[in-house]
Amino acid sequence: MKTEKILWGVAIIGFLVGLVGLFQRITGGHTVAAYNTYVPWGLWVALYTMLIGVSVGAYVVVALAYGFHVKALQPVGRIALLTAFAALAGGLLAVWLDLGHPMRFFRLFFSTSFTSVMGVMAWLYTLYGILLVVLIYLTSKNAETSTVRVLAWLGLVLVVIFGGAEGSLFGVVSAQALWESGLTPILFLVEGAFSGVALVLFLAVVLGKLQTATGQILRWMLLGLLLAVVVLNWAEFSTALYAGIPAKAQSLNVILFGPFWWVFWLINVGLGLIVPLLLLVFAGHNRAALATAGGLVAFSAISAKLNLVIPALVVPEFEGLRTAFSGFGLTFDYFPTSAEWLLTVWVVSIAGLIFLALYHFLPTPASEQAG
């Protein structure tokens, strides 16, 4: 298929270009990144949270197709399953490359504190990854079995738990007012579902697997999730700004009116919400419009995570800290370096190549061959 070849070409080019960033990361360590003592997390953490969210969202389609036997979604069940696996692999690769000592990651398993959200998530990711591999194997033979159905249900439980737990990594940090909120885990789940369903819709169209009924179900799912994202963000922004708690209000003002205001207004709101909403409402029966809406939502998902991670860190914890000390790494200014962007391209390309390789070489179940 021509579009599949185009996807292969884009992924391979991204992989080759991104190798420059990988080389810089290996040889230069963390000195090639713009994060520092005051801003310890940057683009790669945002990428990690975005890709894990995409995996959560794609798996929602898997659960509906295989666990709840929604017939109209079964033609895209394999696309959703492979998307969930590739996004998980890419997300874990991104956060692994962000570690100060990547080769010590195994300590999360052998020294796990089960009162640590991060420690528990390491095991949940592992269980989820194993479950995805088993489902990929079983569905490549026959998607219509009771074993597949039970595993699909089990996977849905896992994604809800670790998707919410990922939000809890931020939501329980009381020192960061922007993160600390009971809405944060819920927002992670909803935004993840939004971006994952959108990517499945995009891939289903470009790979020629979208049936009319399938497209309409995904369309309405996307519209519902878009509305939920708007409501949750409005609740978070409006109450915080009205309350006027300085630490949180300052971070929100950075998002809305800071030097990178365009990330929120043009990419997150414009490309990620308004344009997809118009396409889904007024041209929702057109496949090109559906693909464009899904692609824009998936593309702009990184902006939401950047606006979560960075603004909370670039606001000093107390007045005067910005000028109290000076020296290398003691700055509240952050913008990703070329090395960070290149490595991001490499990670996303790796995820894309994983998806394409599995999609191309694994057999398609008979129940999904109609397209």
Q: pLDDT value at position 371?
A: 45
Instruction: Please check whether residue 371 lies inside any domain of the structure.
Output: no
Pick from 199, 189, 1, 3: which is nearest to 82 by CA? 199
Q: pLDDT value at position 16?
A: 98
Instruction: Please check whether residue 109 lies inside any domain of the structure.
Output: yes
* Residue bearing the bigger pLDDT, 324 or 356: 356
Residue-wise pLDDT tens digits, 35-89: 888 889 999 999 999 999 999 999 999 999 999 999 999 999 999 999 999 999 9
- Residue 295 clears pLDDT 80, i.e. is over it: yes
CB half-sphere exposure, 21, CA atoms < 13 A: 24
Q: pLDDT class for 369, splitting at 50, 70, 90?
A: low
* Residue bearing the bigger pLDDT, 122 or 49: 49
Q: pLDDT class for 7, splitting at 50, 70, 90?
A: very high
What is the total count of domains within the chain? 1
DSSP symbols for 254-282:
HHHHSTTHHIIIIIIIIIIIIHHHHHHHH
Instruction: Please check whether residue 370 lies inside any domain of the structure.
Output: no
Q: pLDDT value at position 368?
A: 61
- CA–CA dist 69, 226 (Å, integer): 24
Least confident of 6-15, 144-153, 165-174: 165-174
Contacts of 282 (CB under 8 A, 6+ apart): none
- Residue 192 clears pLDDT 80, i.e. is over it: yes
Q: pLDDT value at position 307?
A: 95
What CATH number is associated with residue 167?
A: 1.20.1630.10
- Residue 232 clears pLDDT 50, i.e. is over it: yes
Instruction: Please check whether residue 204 lies inside any domain of the structure.
Output: yes
Q: pLDDT value at position 366?
A: 63
CB half-sphere exposure, 111, CA atoms < 13 A: 5
Instruction: Please check whether residue 283 lies inside any domain of the structure.
Output: yes
Mean model confidence pLDDT for the chain:
92
Instruction: Please check whether residue 190 lies inside any domain of the structure.
Output: yes
- Percentage of the chain modeled with pLDDT above 90: 73
Pure H helices in 172-285: 183-206, 212-243, 246-257, 261-262, 275-282
Q: pLDDT class for 367, splitting at 50, 70, 90?
A: low
Burial environment of residue 18 by CB neighbours within 10 A (0 to 12, 13 to 18, 19 or more): buried
Which structural domain range is residue 351 located in? 2-364
Instruction: Please check whether residue 369 lies inside any domain of the structure.
Output: no
- Number of helical (H) and strand (E) elements in the chain, helices listed first: 14, 0
- Residue 183 clears pLDDT 80, i.e. is over it: yes
